[in-house]
Each structure stands twice: as structure tokens, then as C-alpha cells.
């Protein structure tokens, strides 16, 4: 009988319980963050904000994810994966709910920052949880499957923002959007804790770990990321995430506005095309894990980044070529979404790079610092759009997608790496 969940030959009921509930949390996490991009037009009109002001608020929520990633990553290493997952959901749910009461830029800014803090904490904690509990040979596909919650969350935000918001208004959308996450909070109480994390804590209390190791355990976990044994991989991971996050947010932060304002789509039609993109995203995330487990993390990243870059070029720079046939636009939107499936690789890849004692901190910090940098992205697009249109701003994402596919080759191949309480086994 396997001592730890990640030593099982195949997933058990406990594994699927962890996966399902972590996935659901990520759905509502991403939904709460992305819903804002669909409501920006209504908010701007009612509160008389400029494009730069409304973009600044969006950017601030992305910047807050960096802080949330660091805070909740540290807390998950200290207090456990399961407990902190619930704390992150409460945080972003409260932020979304309060956003519905905003009447000024400062109010909206504060509430969206609260949302960003919770969103930043959710990903790192959930992916650490899955990375520590699933068998090594299957880690890629199940980590990627959790990531499918992102396109599902965006699709849900599209339905609410594109179809329901025009009927009930943006305030009620924010207020009603807290309900699904509240349900998840209660369901998650049934989750088991990560047994690798629990075993490490037990060994420390029992004196089975050396005093030197315990001393390291008490050190600042954030600073530990820059120690000799961790520094190289942390920097590599951070740069990779910055490139990929830039590709993602240059694509999506203004995509609904781009289709509506520059391409004269109705909000309903914009929502329909975004749903098609997220269908591609779901399939991209789902298939990425299988490709990464079979052929390796590096080839998978490269292939998917090129697919995303091609789709982006067609729907921005070469729009005049594909607009003659609606189905060509849909195909290219699908390819953009499918290419973003490379985000499905971050959980498995990052969990394979760092030891148990700092895994939550490392994953949450690298991923969310990169997302925090995107504070500038919506604003840059709005500024570039004054001369080149929103399509010109969004097309910057092509460069970052290709940089992602190239940078991944600076990493070692980690496919199949096994985890233990203290170390890795090759």
C-alpha cells in the first residue's frame, strides 16, 4: 500500500475529490477576475471613467495578484494547502461582492485589489496541492486539467457579462457572482490535507529532521527562493511566467472591447466569439497535459506558443484577410484559445522544480509576480490604441507568446520527476 497519495499507481477517490474541488475553485477564481473586463463598458458609461482610468483599475487587480500569491503561498507552506485554499476563496468572493457597491474610482480600486489578492493566492495553493498528491507519471495531465477551470471561468464570465449584464446591470452581476464561490467554501471542508506537507510537519515536531534543516524551515521562505539551490530555477520560472502572462493579458484584457469597439460586434456577438475562444482554451488545457507527459514539458510549451501566436496575428494584424469569411475568424479565435493551453503546464512544471518546504511560496510567488507585472498591460493597450487601435495593442501578445516558446528550453526536462517529503527522486 502506498505511503503517500503521490505514490499510488493510479488516482483514487481522494485524488478526484482534490482535483474536482480545486478545479471548481479555479473556475470561480478566474470568473471573478475576468468578469470585470466584460463589465468595463457599462461601468465606464455609468461612472464616467476614461479608458485609461478603467484600465488602471483592472491593472491594479492584476498587480494585487502578485501580493496575494506571495502572502497565501507563504501561508500554505506554514498552515497547509487545504486551509489556505478556503481563505483565498473567501478573499476574492468578498472583493467581487463589494465591487457592486462602487461609486468612485478609489472605491472600485480597493475592492478589485481585494479580489486580486484572493485570485493570486488560489492558483499557487491549488496547484501545489495537486502536484504533491498526484502520481508523478500523471501529474502533467491532472495539473493541466485543473487549469481548464480558467476557460470555463472565462466562459461563465462571458455569459454573465455578455448576455445577463445588459439586462440586470453590472452591479447585480458583481453581487450575484459571490454565490457559487460561497458554495465551494463549504464543500472544500471535506478535503484531506496534503499528506507530504503533513508528514514534513510531523517529522519536524518529532525531531526527525536535523537542527540545520529546522533552522532553514524557520527562515523567511521568500528569501529562501534566492538561496543558491533555488535561485536559478526561481528566476527561470519567473521569466517564463512573465513572458506567458504578458501574452495572455495583452490578448484578453481588452479582447471584448476590441471586438465591440473596433470590429463593431454587438456585445452578444462579442460574447459568442469569446465563448468559441474559450472552447479552444478548454481543449488546449486538457490536451496539453497529455502532450507534456508523453513528449516532455519543453516541446509542449513550444508547440502551443506558436499556435497562439499564429491565431493572434490573424485576428489583429491580418484581420482584413480573414474577415471575408466568418468561419475563418472563428477558427483563428479558436487557435488563440487552444494555444493558451500552455498555461496548463505551470502547476506540474513549477511543483517539479522546488522542494516541499518552499513549494507553495515558490509557485505562488513566481506565477503571481508575473501576473502582477501585468498591471501595465491594460493601460499600455489603451495608450497604443490611440494611434494603432485596440488591435495594435493586442498584437503585442504575439511577441510574448513566441518568447515563451523559446525560453522554456532554458529549463531542464522534469517529466516524470518523483517527489518525497524532503527531496526529489530521479
Q: How far is CA 191 from the centre of its chain?
A: 22
Tell me the domain boundaries of the chain: 12-425
The more confident residue out of 424 and 81 is 81
Residue-level pLDDT at 219: 59
Work out the percent of the chain whose per-residue pLDDT is above 70.
93
Q: What is the model's pLDDT at position 423?
A: 47
- Arithmetic mean of pLDDT, 80-105: 89
> Strand locations in 348-423, DSSP E?
418-419
Report the pLDDT value the prediction gives residue 98, as an integer from 0 to 100: 94
- Phi, psi dihedral angles at 424 (to 5 degrees): -115, 150
CA distances from 16 to 23, 288, 407 (A): 10, 19, 33
Asked if 105 and 167 touch (Cβ cutoff 8 Å), the reply is no
Share of the chain above pLDDT 90, in %: 26
Average confidence (pLDDT) over 63-88? 86
Spatial CB neighbours of 174, under 8 Å, sequence gap ≥ 6: 35, 39, 96, 97, 99, 100
Q: Which of 205-209, 269-273, 364-368 has the lowest mean pLDDT?
A: 205-209
Q: What is the pLDDT of residue 308?
A: 97
The pLDDT value given to residue 270: 82
The band of 274, judged by pLDDT with boundaries at 50, 70 and 90, is: confident
**Does the structure show a pLDDT above 80 at 180?**
no
Banded model confidence at residue 425, pLDDT cuts 50, 70, 90:
very low
- What DSSP string describes 46-110? HHT--HHHHHHHHHHHHHHHHHHHHHHHHHHHHH-HHHHHHHHHHHHHHHHHHHTT--SHHHHHH
3-state secondary structure of 288: helix
Q: Distance between CA 325 and CA 352 in Å, rounded?
A: 44
- The reported pLDDT for the residue numbered 386 is 80
Could you tell me if 315 and 324 are in contact, meaning their C-beta atoms sit under 8 angstroms apart?
Answer: no
For the cut 70, the answer to whether the pLDDT of residue 73 exceeds it is yes
Q: What span, in angstroms and rounded, lies between the C-alpha atoms of 305 and 400? A: 9
Residue-wise pLDDT for 379-397, tens only, equals: 788 788 788 888 888 899 9
Q: Which residues contact 399 (CB under 8 A, 6 or more apart)?
A: none
pLDDT at 284: 94
What pLDDT is recorded for position 357?
77
Q: What would the grid cell of residue 323 be?
A: 474577415
Between 177-191, 225-239, 327-341, the lowest mean confidence (pLDDT) is in 177-191
Q: Is the pLDDT of residue 22 over 90?
A: no
Q: Could you write out the DSSP letters of every residue in 256-287? A: HHIIIIIS---HHHHHHHHHHHHHHHHHHHHH
Question: 12-425 has which fold?
Answer: Growth Hormone; Chain: A; (1.20.1250)
Cβ atoms within 10 A of the Cβ of 52, count? 13
Question: Is this structure's pTM higher than 0.95?
Answer: no
Instruction: Indicate the average pLDDT of the chain.
Output: 85
Q: What is the pLDDT of residue 421?
A: 57
The three-class DSSP label of residue 309 is helix
Instruction: Give the pLDDT confidence score for residue 244 in this predicted structure.
Output: 93
Rg (CA), the chain: 21
Least confident of 33-47, 116-130, 159-173, 213-227: 213-227
402-421: average pLDDT: 85
For the stretch 128-170, pLDDT in tens is 888 888 888 888 888 888 888 888 888 888 888 888 888 899 9
At 418, phi and psi to the nearest 5?
-95, 145
- Per the CB < 8 A criterion, the answer to whether 314 and 394 are in contact is no
Calculated CA dihedral for residues 34, 38, 41, 45, nearest 10 degrees:
-80
230 touches 358 (CB < 8 A): yes
Long-range contact list for 158-162, CB < 8 A, 24+ apart? 158/38, 158/256, 158/271, 158/274, 158/275, 158/278, 159/271, 159/275, 160/35, 160/38, 161/35, 161/37, 161/38, 161/39, 161/256, 161/271, 162/38, 162/256, 162/267, 162/268, 162/270, 162/271, 162/272, 162/274
Reduced to 3 states (helix: H, G, I; strand: E, B; else coil), residue 413 is coil
Residue 144 confidence (pLDDT) = 82
Instruction: Give the model's pLDDT for residue 2.
Output: 60
Question: How is 175-236 classified by DSSP, letter by letter?
Answer: HHTTHHHHHHHHHGGGPPPPHHHHHHHHHHHTT-S-HHHHHHHHS-HHHHTTSHHHHHHHHH
What band does 407 get if pLDDT is binned at 50, 70 and 90?
Answer: very high
- State pLDDT tens for residues 281-324: 999 988 998 899 899 999 999 999 999 999 999 999 999 999 88
What distance in Å separates the CA atoms of residue 163 and residue 155, rounded to the nearest whole number?
12
pLDDT band at residue 371 using 50, 70 and 90 as cut-offs: confident
pLDDT of residue 21: 80
Q: What pLDDT is recorded for position 300?
A: 95
Amino acid at each position: 500500500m502506498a505511503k503517500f497519495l503521490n505514490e499510488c499507481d493510479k488516482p483514487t477517490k481522494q485524488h478526484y475529490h482534490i482535483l474536482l474541488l480545486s478545479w471548481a475553485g479555479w473556475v470561480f477564481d478566474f470568473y471573478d477576475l475576468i468578469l470585470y473586463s466584460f463589465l468595463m463598458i457599462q461601468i465606464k458609461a455609468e461612472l464616467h471613467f476614461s479608458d485609461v482610468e478603467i484600465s488602471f483599475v483592472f491593472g491594479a487587480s492584476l498587480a494585487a495578484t502578485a501580493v496575494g500569491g506571495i502572502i497565501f503561498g507563504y501561508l500554505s507552506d506554514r498552515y497547509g494547502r487545504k486551509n489556505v485554499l478556503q481563505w483565498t476563496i473567501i478573499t476574492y468572493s468578498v472583493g467581487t461582492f463589494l465591487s457592486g457597491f462602487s461609486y468612485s474610482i478609489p472605491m472600485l480600486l480597493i475592492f478589485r485589489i481585494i479580489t486580486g489578492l484572493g485570485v493570486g493566492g488560489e492558483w499557487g495553493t491549488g496547484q501545489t496541492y495537486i502536484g504533491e498528491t498526484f502520481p508523478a507519471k500523471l501529474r502533467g495531465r491532472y495539473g493541466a486539467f485543473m487549469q481548464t477551470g480558467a476557460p470555463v471561468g472565462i466562459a461563465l464570465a462571458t455569459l454573465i457579462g455578455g448576455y445577463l449584464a445588459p439586462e440586470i446591470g453590472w452591479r447585480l452581476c458583481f453581487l450575484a457572482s459571490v454565490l457559487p464561490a460561497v458554495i465551494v467554501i463549504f464543500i472544500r471542508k471535506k478535503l484531506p490535507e496534503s499528506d507530504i506537507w503533513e508528514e514534513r510537519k510531523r517529522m519536524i515536531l518529532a525531531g526527525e529532521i536535523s537542527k540545520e534543516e529546522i533552522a532553514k524551515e524557520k527562515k523567511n521562505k521568500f528569501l529562501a527562493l534566492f538561496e543558491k539551490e533555488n535561485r536559478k530555477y526561481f528566476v527561470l520560472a519567473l521569466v517564463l511566467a512573465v513572458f506567458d502572462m504578458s501574452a495572455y493579458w495583452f490578448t484578453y484584457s481588452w479582447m471584448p472591447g476590441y471586438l465591440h469597439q473596433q470590429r463593431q460586434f454587438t456585445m452578444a456577438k462579442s460574447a459568442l466569439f469569446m465563448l468559441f475562444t474559450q472552447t479552444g482554451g478548454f481543449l488546449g488545457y486538457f490536451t496539453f497535459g497529455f502532450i507534456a507527459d508523453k513528449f516532455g514539458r519543453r516541446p509542449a510549451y513550444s508547440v502551443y506558443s506558436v499556435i497562439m501566436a499564429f491565431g493572434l496575428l490573424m485576428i489583429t494584424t491580418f484581420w482584413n484577410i480573414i474577415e471575408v469569411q466568418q468561419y475563418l475568424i472563428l477558427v483563428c479565435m479558436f487557435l488563440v484559445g487552444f494555444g493558451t493551453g500552455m498555461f496548463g503546464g505551470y502547476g506540474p512544471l513549477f511543483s517539479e522544480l522546488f522542494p516541499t518546504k518552499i513549494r507553495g511560496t515558490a509557485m505562488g510567488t513566481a506565477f503571481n509576480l508575473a501576473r502582477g507585472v501585468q498591471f501595465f498591460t491594460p493601460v499600455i493597450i489603451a495608450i497604443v490604441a490611440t494611434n494603432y487601435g485596440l488591435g495594435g495593442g493586442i498584437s503585442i501578445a504575439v511577441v510574448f507568446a513566441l518568447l515563451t516558446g523559446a525560453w522554456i528550453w532554458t529549463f531542464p526536462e522534469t517529466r516524470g520527476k518523483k517527489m518525497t517529503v524532503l527531496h526529489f527522486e530521479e
